[in-house]
Every structure is written in C-alpha cells, then in structure tokens.
Amino acid sequence: MIIGIDLGTTNSLVSYFTEDGPKIIPNRLGKKLTPSVVSIDENDQVYVGETAKERMILYPDTCASVFKRDMGSKKKYTLGHRTFLPEELSSFVLRSLKEDAEVYLGEKVTEAIISVPAYFNDARRKATKRAGELAGLKVERIISEPTAAAIAYGLYQSNKDMKFLVFDLGGGTFDVSILELFGNILEVHAVAGDNFLGGEDFTQVLIDMFMKEHNLKAEELDIKTLSHIRKQAEECKKKFAQESSSVMSCNINNELMEMKIDIDSYEKNCEILLERIKQPIKRSLSDANIKLSDIDQVVMIGGATRLPIIHKMVSKLFKMIPNTSINPDEAVALGAAIQGAMKERNQAVKEVILTDVCPFTLGTEVVREIEENRFESGYYCPIIERNTVIPASRTERLYTVYDNQTKIRVKILQGESRFASNNVLIGELTVEVPKGRAGEEAVDVTYTYDINSILEVEVKVVSTGKTERIIIKGQDVDMTDEEIEKRMQELSYLKIHPREHEANKLLLLKAERLYEESIGEKRKRLEYELLKFDSALNSRDKVKIEEARKRLQTVLDFIIDESDF
C-alpha cells in the first residue's frame, strides 16, 4: 500500500485510500495532526509530535520546529549536543508517521507520496525525497500541495471545464497555483509563492504587539520565556476563528501580563503580511495570462486560512466565497492518498492526467552589447521560463563575442533576476570552438527539464557538431532563500554612479522588480529598455538620460496598468 503524507511546517499528516475514499490515519495519541517538532533528551531519545512540542516549553534548547523552511539548505540545528540538517529532522517526523500507519493498518509500509509546496525548488524537493528515504520509505512521487488539494476536492471529477486557483497558506509557506480542468486532464498553468510566509508569521505579529505593549525586549528574555510567549500567542490567534476579540496572557518572572486585542486591530497590524500575500497572486495571474474574473473557483487550504482576516481578504479580492468544504488541514494529505491510489491503478479512482510546470526560470549568463562595439558580461538569458509546462525542451543559440575566441563557457543558472550574479549557479559546461572573427562561431544550448526535476543541458558547437552534455539532479544549494535575498540586496544597483540620482535609482528598482515578475514578451521588452537606459546612464549625457528615463517610465506604466487587479 502507498500512503500519502503531508509533511507540513507546523503539522504533518498521513493518509491512505479505502473503498470509501481517502482517510486520515490517527497517530499513536489518537490525533490526526502530528506537530512537526523534534526533541532529543539527554539519553538520545528522539521525541516527535505533541511530546516534543511540550518539551519545547521546558527544554527549548533540545527541540527544533519550523525546519521545513530550511529544507535544501545546509543550515544546522543543534539539539543538545547533536546537530542535524533540516531533512534529517524531517526524516524523524516521516518515520513517526510511517510507524503510526503500520500500527493502524497492521502491515508494513514502504512506499509513500509526499507533498511539497509548489514553489519548492529542485534542492528543496530533493531534500524532501532524501528525508523520506532516511525514514525508510520509497518515495513514489513528490506532489505539489495545491495539486494534491485539487484532487482531494474532487475537482477532477467535475462535469465541466473550469479554471480555479488554489490558495495554500500553511504554517510556514504560502503557495498560489492556477489550474485548469478539461476532460480528465488537470493542468497547472502557473505557480507562485513565498517560502517564508505562513501562519507562524501571523503569530509573530501578536508576539510583537505583546512585547511592545509591555515594553519587553527579546534579547532580555530567556529561551524558555520566549517559547512560553509564542505558545500563548498561538492560542490567542486560534481564538479569532470563533471570536472577534481575544486575550493573550503570559506569566513572566512571576508577573501576569495580559493584552486584549480585537480582530480589527489585529488585522491592521497584519497589513504588511496581507500585502505580501497579494504579490504571488498577482504574479501567478500575470504568468497564466488570465484575469481575476476568469477564475471560476478559489480553493483554500492550509491551517492558517482559518484566520477570518485571510478569508475576508480572499473573498474581497476575488469577489466570491472561497471553497472550504474540506478541512483545510487535511486536504493535501487526502489528495496525496488519492494520488497513491492512482499510482496503484486502483479502479475506485478515476484516472486523471496531471501536468505540472517549472516553478522557476532556468537560463545562462550572456554578454550584452551595451553600446556599439562595447560589450558587458553578467547578464541573464532565460531559456526555460518559470511556469513553462513540463516536460519541456528549449534551445538558445549563443555566439562568440571576441576575435579568435577558443572557448565558450555556459553557466547554468536558476532564478529571476536579469543579472546573472543574483541568480543561483547550479552547474556549468565549457566547449571548445574554432578560432574566428567575433560572431562567426556559435553554440546551440538546449535545456530539457522533466517532471522528476531532472535538468539536462546540451551544448552543441554549430560548425563542428561537437557536443557536451550534463545532467543536473537538483544539486544542493549552500545558501538559504534568505541568504540569497540578502546577497541580491548587497550586490544590486551599486556600480554606476549616475544611479545614485534618486529618480534613476527608483526607476531602476521598479524596472528590476517588474522584470523579475514578468515573463515572455514583457520580460524581453523590459530587458531591451533597461539596456537602453543603461547605455544612456553610461554616457552621462543628461539629455540622453532624460529621454531614456521617460521612455522606460512609459513602458513601466503600461505594464503596471496591464497587471493591476
């Protein structure tokens, strides 16, 4: 039997398929939700779930939680005198779920379908698969959470074609997926998300409010007290699901401190987070080239969607009541179980063809002609753009830049910035080319990306037919998303001094953001205008700069008007 697993940031679940449909398997405590928390005592005993969560209050330095956010990175978690990678901690959770399933089902379990956020990159997906293998499971498939939820809602059994958006706000990650159903085909059109936005952040807002009201500073409190405050904030947040006001009470240094808060005040303090939620929605709609009014149904999943302020925001934005007919905590796990039944070709399940997309852009570094006969390296050339339906294969022809050039190096990059250095290097190939004048020799660079997250890169010298090839199986990335973001901020926009003028700097920042949010013709047009603006800035001619700025501003205004909700 293949079990389905929703490996969550805050809670995890395990499920299986029965004659009556998918069912959640209760854990050893009889509960459906198993907290994604791990703790190790002084005797090296590993605790997972509720027990570990309780130990976090008493022995916070022996516990770890929210480690899903760091999957695929080299971040180390120290529990007592031992250190673990995020996938190793995740393997403890998966092993616990596996053992619960074996006890409940009365048979050995060796295979599983495991869900991940749609916006997880290759490194994160591979780390999740490794976690399953460490737990003693053969991972039959890594399935995107929104796709699993769509299956669970029975949308694939609908009698009509439809477009729908899955809004997935979990404990630590946020995903938006736009899917279309036609016949027995469930096609993903676009995905977007934020790997560092979830229910934990809405809890942090309450913590910050409480600390401010009582003039407390985190650096002056011990780990145990901070853990206590977080637990009380979580309880306070949950009350908003049923009540319009809530009280947060904490015992700090033998003093009872309270904060009464109403839902309107809480919503106001969450405005920044709510705005962050809108950005992936906007990006996914733009990538899918559809409007809000084209969406037939919005499906909400993830425990954090229970917050009334989330439900209110989504209803107002889409002008419809979202579908919440299935327990938002359970939808993904139930869908994973159905996917397992499909894998086993269970006749009780309607066969459905699932298509997926590449959640990030894959490309290479190129040299651009900034002015006549003046070239500048370090630019990004997208080859397979994000949200391309996979499997996919794309070819780009690149030419020599210098006379008597003998080699062309192809850097394999992943990311959205137009500057190569701001994207993630995942591999490279070098090929030899015959000497000749600049532009006479060329190579065809072909990227092929399949549904199992395997990228094949082939570089063929056009004149000789010589070919070099490499297969990249989702290599580990040493940096977390937070570190990459910090690096982007440090390296961007600091090189040419005309950019120090406020108007130029603001325009460049806006253009760079829109470039990263766009794909296809919009992205190409933006790159063209940015290169023109770069050339004008390099000339330091005020007239040229002013003309280029006005032209770029006009293009930006047009794109923004097209993208507005």
For residue range 499-520, what is the model confidence (pLDDT) as tens digits?
346 467 668 767 887 887 788 8
200: helix, coil or strand?
A: helix
Measuring CA to CA, which residue among 511, 489, 484, 499 is closest to residue 414? 484
**CA–centroid distance for 115 within its chain:** 13
Write phi, then psi, for 371 (nearest 5 degrees): -135, 175
Q: Would you list the DSSP string of 306-360?
A: GSHHHHHHHHHHHTSPPB--S-TTTHHHHHHHHHHHHHTT-TTS---EEEEE-SS
Q: Is residue 349 part of a domain?
A: yes
pLDDT tens figures, 321-363 = 999 888 999 999 999 999 998 888 777 676 677 778 888 899 9
Contact 5, 16 (CB under 8 A): no
Q: Is residue 487 part of a domain?
A: no
Least confident of 24-38, 53-67, 144-158, 484-498: 484-498
Q: Residue 43: CA atoms inside 13 Å, Cβ hemisphere, count?
A: 2
The residue among 449, 480, 511 that closes a domain is: 480
97 & 224 share domain: no
Q: Would you list the DSSP string of 246-260?
A: EEEEEEETTEEEEEE
199-213 vs 271-288: helix axis angle to the nearest 10? Answer: 160
Q: Is residue 125 part of a domain?
A: yes
Number of domains in the chain: 4
Q: What is the CATH number of the domain that holds 436?
A: 2.60.34.10
Q: Is residue 486 part of a domain?
A: no
What does the alpha-carbon distance between residue 179 and residue 150 come to, in Å, rounded to a whole number? 9
The pLDDT of residue 563: 56
What does the alpha-carbon distance between residue 154 and residue 271 come to, in Å, rounded to a whole number? 33
**CA–centroid distance for 439 within its chain:** 39
450 & 497 share domain: no
Q: Is residue 500 part of a domain?
A: yes
Q: What is the CATH number of the domain that holds 54?
A: 3.30.420.40
Q: Buried (b) or exposed (e) across 493-518, using 16+ Cβ within 10 A?
A: eeeeebbeeeebeebbeebbebbbbb
184 & 206 share domain: no
What does the alpha-carbon distance between residue 489 and residue 4 come to, in Å, rounded to a whole number? 39
Structure tokens at 493: 């926009």
340 & 365 share domain: no
Least confident of 80-89, 211-220, 418-427, 481-490: 481-490
Structural domain of 161: 2-197+272-357
31 & 116 share domain: yes
Instruction: Mention every residue, 6+ apart, whose C-beta is less than 8 A from residue 173.
Output: 9, 68, 69, 117, 119, 193, 194, 195, 196, 197, 198
Q: What is the CATH number of the domain that holds 214?
A: 3.90.640.10
475 & 524 share domain: no
Contact 129, 453 (CB under 8 A): no
pLDDT tens figures, 261-306 = 999 999 999 999 999 999 999 999 999 999 999 999 999 999 999 9
The residue among 219, 237, 271 that closes a domain is: 271
**What is the pLDDT of the chain when averaged over all its residues?**
86
22 & 117 share domain: yes
Provide the β-strand partners of residue 210: none
pLDDT tens figures, 379-407 = 999 999 998 988 889 999 999 998 999 99
500 & 532 share domain: yes
What's the predicted TM-score (pTM) here?
0.74
What does the alpha-carbon distance between residue 15 and residue 112 come to, in Å, rounded to a whole number? 10
